[in-house]
Structure 1
């Protein structure tokens, strides 16, 4: 295989599978040259072992030294700083990252999240009640996969229900691949303005929700978080907590409905839901553009020499289908013995909200199979429209009946 830079593989033969080119890259050139939309060249890492190695390597930085691997629309440092996302800790390295991570880790423990479980169950139940009352057919994306996580993240942050839709609209614009710089900045600053208003309201009228707790928190050094820091954290949680979970809810339902035997297993054996969620997370990916990283210093990954400053893209969807890590990785099996995957990354940047996402998925799929055991696609699987024009991959609509 030639080592000249190639674009990121995006063409899918089947909607639920990653691009087939990843199998060839893992076998022939697991760390390959990558051509980025802005004209720069970088590296694409495709094997599970190499991806996890890079995620824990001190020579690999999470700092966003290149703006995007998704589109040619880039922001200047000044535009990024003014957008309300400039202090997001997802793009920091220790010790800066450690300060925020330590502060937030306690907010996402299993014990604390259990307090939220009854409200998640109520939200899921309300959406399923509405589906049942309206009667078939329904759109599982519009009626279930989209509203559930947006309402949950609003509940977590203490966001008024009237504001949830506004945040969702801004997030959807930000996730589009085809948008102008002006549209992107308007969405980012619009979301930041909404979050700033929420932060100021929580300072005046605190409650027991996450933003209020962060307002009262004292990070390392005893200096409270500024409004800018709180806005960046809140915006990050909205994007991560809404868009990715909505995508995974829709894709997971589509995978189950197109693998009818797996759906029926969950209906017959509800105890399989927990392991089934782990298989959904491994088998599917809603982040086709991977995790962006930058080489902090000259280093080696997978036997390839990478120079300081080189962009690196870590492919989660390729790593989770690596046959060196998973037996029969292209088989969807809800009875598979759960093993460590990288759906939530790995190392110090492992997804902070992973336990919340797992809880939502378990509650949502458990309730769905109990309430609608006869649920089925209302159109042939190949006619389900996909969101190939978004940074978060998924189904645009899933017509179902029962």
Structure 2
């Protein structure tokens, strides 16, 4: 039932753990890249690569052992080696790409030969050739795609997240400084900007988003949804296609990231953070930060598309405590059912939290496991800002 916390049992994740062993996680925190094993009850640290002043706020993994990490505090994107079977993480980067400053998002192309890196500072997307056997960067990006159009009060375009759609051809770039979504076409590795969709409101700050498919659409998604940082809203777009190509996006819905019964204590200061669409194309999860409440929260929404037209309507389901403050990023586990939501908090309470996802998408009110901030944070730095499961079955993944 909507609005009620799920009481889903942990039987599924327990069985998966017995069959597959502990999950391997990679975590980014200020000055640290950390490896963890998760056995459905505890987080056990297994690796640590530390470099003061760096910020690995986003990472992407290419099997069997290539870990790409941003440093949003510089103009470098770094390649480490990480073997999940032995929990071995290189202490230093094995390759470094020097490009735009302030990279905060990474996305592979479909065959993992190119890496797209989005700059929050310059508002552009650098494309790197990483096809070498060792995954190394070249001397410079093979192309940089600059975001264009008017900007909001930020005064500059900000490429905050890049998300590849399921067919592998197109990439959505959430432009926090331009109040727009830019679509890059990766056909024939040309990476041309082909669509720009403006949000209906200004100074809202689109941050993270995801693709949704509600009906067969020639292999392309039917919708894209984005969460806005400044206004704590979600904006839903219908994808316009013609002759097997994306030709536009039309905004069809906007709504608050808070349910009516779960408002922030400080609506002016509140800032939404993460948005993840589950692989069932039904469940959407959004993080609410700086709410002024005792803890921040994760909201669960449902895609209502129970008709033959494929038209979607986003409906609030429930809100859950994040277990701390500033849940900047979370991700779903790599099993087919995505049975666990792994979340991070940058301040207070639990640095890492694991929630069980029920069969209807709800999260368990009581977390499956937590890890205290004191066990992760160093000095006066913030806690974790990124968490992702690393596959151990030989398949590549990223934090989509």
TM range (shorter): under 0.3
Q: Whose radius of gyration is greater, 1 or 2?
A: 1
Compare the two structures and name the one with the higher strand fraction.
2
> Structure 2 length as normaliser, TM-score?
0.27
Compare the two structures and name the one with the higher helix fraction.
1
